[in-house]
């Protein structure tokens, strides 16, 4: 930062709005001018401004924020002494004054600080004029979309976006190097205007450095990114389809720049505390042979042997080879059945035989199927269907099972409610699950009385209710705000 000590101030009265590029302290007061005579006096700082007398007419003066003090006085010889990026509020008559070189008009700012001179106009310092040596240019900047860059599993590379602004020349060019920055020559540049962005491909396990400079010279560095590290941890397969009654396995692979040194893989099961799994160099593999269906495994890569420097992580789900969705089908009033889908994925077996059993009865063969695959069927309220899958032509190896059942959308348990002889009432649980209706209204009637609204609730849900001996309570559920469609109903009785 240079000392501001030269000469006198020229031009009109200006009220500074603090900029963002340089940090200044203090307060200055500018004497106003007539726009013709460039010779005006000192700009005084601090407590003296209230008694300042400008050396010529008119005698208006205004506070200016954001400039460095120097022995309680500061002088300027050019508008270009104002840092690029700052704005001035101009005392103006219809905005007719000449805009200084390197500035642009932003239009009226709505204020009026100079008596008799109309509404102020706002101008912004946008660039340095070539012949002026006192200008404060905006520093060139460069940034990258992420660092470190994480390459997704199963891929060898990823894209990053480099953005730059305030390039001193047009074109401004982005140069980069990979890994050995001292001995590797830069790659050919990508050029654009003084501001812009460009997309680059980066490879897992490497380091990159980007900078902006001249088109014909890679040694000129106007602004540079920090070292960009490209890392990866992946697991294959993911998810893991686990055969019935056994465990599955997945192989975890990691890649980081060699500068990272020793790396360790830790694993957390279902969100529990992580435990150390394997350590190695900047790249390596390890196999988890204990993946179980229904569990989630988070593999995290750390620098060093502890868990203070996380590099990246990946999550693997353990899934059964056969699933039913939904496994419980809730059936709305007015219908007797609902649909579900059975899916299977049996690594190592491209053809499977499917069997089914209704309500605990004998298994029956329903066909040979390609794997992976799925089938959609209906199940009736009160029924339970069990599925089993085997390798084609043999039932010696059970690959997976799934069970699906159908229930009414509204139910009560227990029902009837058996009340002890020593009591007159007891509790029961009212349950509802109304697919497609997240909010419901519940109505009730006791012993044939008119039904009445007992409340609104989210779905699915449960509620504890009470019933007396010889009482019969009927419940109705409707979409919230309407009784046009009955979603479900149940009648509960109480007795000794």
The pLDDT, as a whole number, for residue 400 is: 95
CB 495 within 8 A of CB 470: yes
What tens digit of pLDDT does each residue of 352-385 get?
999 999 999 999 999 999 999 999 999 999 999 9
Same domain flag for 54 and 118: yes
Same domain flag for 220 and 251: no
Residue 274 C-alpha from the chain's centroid: 24
Same domain flag for 316 and 338: no
Same domain flag for 72 and 111: yes
In a domain, 145, yes or no: yes
Residue 31 has pLDDT above 50, yes or no: no
Query: How far, in Å, CA of 149 to CA of 12, rounded?
Result: 52
pLDDT band of 74, cuts 50, 70, 90: very low
Structural domain count of the chain: 5
Residue 277, C-beta contacts closer than 8 angstroms, at least 6 positions apart: 252, 264, 265, 266, 267, 286, 288, 299
Same domain flag for 18 and 114: yes
In a domain, 3, yes or no: no
In a domain, 437, yes or no: yes
Same domain flag for 223 and 155: yes
Paired with 369 in beta bridges are 352
pLDDT band of 128, cuts 50, 70, 90: confident
Same domain flag for 395 and 344: yes
Residue 480 has pLDDT above 90, yes or no: yes
What tens digit of pLDDT does each residue of 2-29 get?
322 222 233 333 333 332 222 223 333 3
Q: How many percent of the chain have pLDDT more than 70?
A: 75
Same domain flag for 28 and 115: yes
The pLDDT, as a whole number, for residue 215 is: 86
pLDDT band of 106, cuts 50, 70, 90: confident
Same domain flag for 217 and 264: no
Q: Quick one: which of 331, 328, 327 has its CA closest to 434?
A: 331
Same domain flag for 392 and 340: yes
What tens digit of pLDDT does each residue of 392-402 get?
999 999 999 99
- The parent domain of residue 161 ranges over 141-231
Domain boundary among 353, 375, 406: 406
Same domain flag for 197 and 268: no
Among 21-25, 116-120, 279-283, the range with the most confident prediction by mean pLDDT is: 279-283
Burial class (CB in 10 A: 0-12, 13-18, 19+), 93: middle
Question: Is the bond preceding 414 in cis, omega lying within 30 degrees of 0?
Answer: yes
The pLDDT, as a whole number, for residue 359 is: 97
CB 60 within 8 A of CB 84: no
- pTM for the full predicted model: 0.66
Domain boundary among 320, 354, 384: 320
Give mean pLDDT, residues 257-272: 92
CATH value at residue 205: 2.60.40.2550
CATH value at residue 288: 2.60.40.10
The pLDDT, as a whole number, for residue 32 is: 38
The pLDDT, as a whole number, for residue 188 is: 86
Side by side, the strands of the sheet bearing 351-358 are: 328-331, 400-408, 384-391, 351-358, 364-370
Neighbouring C-beta atoms of residue 190, cutoff 10 Å: 17
CATH value at residue 486: 2.60.40
In a domain, 9, yes or no: no
pLDDT band of 454, cuts 50, 70, 90: very high
In a domain, 458, yes or no: yes
What tens digit of pLDDT does each residue of 422-447 get?
999 999 999 999 999 999 999 999 99
207's tokens: 């380091």
The pLDDT, as a whole number, for residue 387 is: 97
The pLDDT, as a whole number, for residue 54 is: 37
Average pLDDT, the chain: 81
The pLDDT, as a whole number, for residue 134 is: 62
Helix/strand/coil (H, E, C) string of the chain?
CCCCCCCCCCCCCEEEECCCCCCCCCEEEEECCCCCCCCCCCEEEHHHHHHCCCCCCCCCEEEEECCCCECCEECCCCHHHCCCCCEEEECCCCCCCCCCCCEEEEEECCCCCCCCCCCCEEEEECCCCCCCCCCCCCCCEEEECCCCEECCCCCCEEEEEEEEECCCCCCEEEEEEECCCCCCCCEEEEEECCCEEEEEEEECCCEEEEEEEECCECCCCCEECCCEEEEEEEEECCCEEECCCCCEEEEEEEECCHHHCCEEEEEEECCCCCEEEEEECCEEEEEEEEECCCCEEEEEEEECCCCCCEEEEEEEEEEECEEEECCEEEECCCCCEEEEEEEECCCCCCEEEEEEEECCCCCEEEEEEECCEEEEEEEECCCEEEEEEEECCCCCCCCEEEEEEEEECEEEECCCEECCCCCCEEEEEEEECCCCCCEEEEEEEECCCCCEEEEEEECCEEEEEEEECCCEEEEEEEECCCCCCCCEEEEEEEEC
Residue 129, C-beta contacts closer than 8 angstroms, at least 6 positions apart: 80, 101, 102, 135
The pLDDT, as a whole number, for residue 55 is: 40
Give mean pLDDT, residues 166-184: 83
Neighbouring C-beta atoms of residue 309, cutoff 10 Å: 11
Same domain flag for 256 and 195: no
């Amino acid at each position: 930062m240079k000392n501001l000590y030269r000469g006198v101030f020229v031009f009109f009265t200006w009220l500074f709005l603090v900029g963002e590029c340089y940090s200044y302290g203090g307060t200055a007061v500018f004497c106003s001018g007539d726009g013709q005579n460039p010779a005006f006096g000192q700009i005084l700082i601090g407590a003296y401004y209230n008694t300042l007398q400008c050396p010529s007419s008119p005698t208006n003066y205004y506070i200016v924020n954001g400039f460095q003090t120097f022995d309680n006085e500061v002088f300027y010889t050019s508008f270009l002494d104002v840092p690029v990026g700052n704005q001035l509020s101009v005392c103006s008559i219809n905005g007719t004054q000449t805009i200084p070189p390197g500035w642009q008009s932003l239009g009226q700012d709505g204020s009026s600080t100079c008596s008799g001179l109309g509404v102020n106009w706002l101008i912004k310092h946008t660039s340095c004029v070539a012949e002026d040596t006192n200008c404060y240019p905006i520093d060139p900047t460069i940034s990258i979309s992420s660092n470190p860059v994480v390459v997704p599993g199963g891929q060898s590379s990823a894209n990053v976006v480099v953005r730059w602004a305030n390039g001193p020349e047009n074109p401004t060019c982005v140069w980069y190097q990979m890994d050995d920055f001292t001995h590797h020559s830069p790659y050919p540049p990508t050029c654009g205007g003084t501001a812009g962005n460009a997309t680059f491909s980066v490879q897992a396990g490497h380091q990159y450095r980007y900078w902006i400079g001249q088109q014909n010279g890679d040694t000129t560095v106007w602004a540079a990114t920090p070292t960009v590290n490209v890392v990866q941890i992946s697991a294959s397969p993911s998810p893991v389809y686990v055969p019935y009654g056994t465990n599955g396995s997945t192989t975890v692979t990691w890649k980081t720049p060699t500068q990272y040194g020793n790396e360790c893989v830790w694993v957390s099961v279902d969100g529990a505390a992580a435990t150390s799994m394997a350590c190695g160099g900047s790249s390596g593999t390890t196999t988890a042979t204990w993946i179980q269906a229904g569990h989630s495994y988070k593999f995290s890569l750390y620098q060093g042997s502890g868990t203070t420097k996380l590099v990246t992580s990946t999550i693997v789900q353990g899934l059964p080879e056969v699933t039913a969705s939904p496994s419980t089908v809730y059936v709305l009033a007015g219908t007797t059945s609902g649909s579900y889908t059975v899916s299977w994925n049996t690594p190592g077996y491209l053809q499977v035989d499917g069997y089914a059993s209704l309500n605990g009865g004998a298994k029956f063969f329903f066909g040979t199927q390609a794997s992976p695959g799925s089938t959609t069927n209906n199940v009736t309220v009160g029924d339970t269907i069990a599925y089993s899958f085997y390798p084609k032509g043999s039932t010696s190896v059970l690959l997976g099972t799934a069970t699906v059942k159908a229930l009414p959308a509204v139910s009560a348990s227990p029902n009837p409610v058996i009340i002890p002889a020593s009591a007159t009432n007891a509790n029961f649980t009212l349950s509802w699950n109304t697919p497609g209706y997240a909010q419901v209204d519940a109505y009730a009637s006791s012993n044939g009385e008119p039904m009445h609204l007992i409340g609104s609730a989210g779905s699915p849900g449960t509620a504890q209710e009470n019933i007396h001996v010889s009482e019969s309570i009927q419940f109705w559920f409707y979409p919230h705000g309407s009784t046009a469609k009955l979603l479900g109903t149940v009648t509960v009785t109480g007795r000794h």
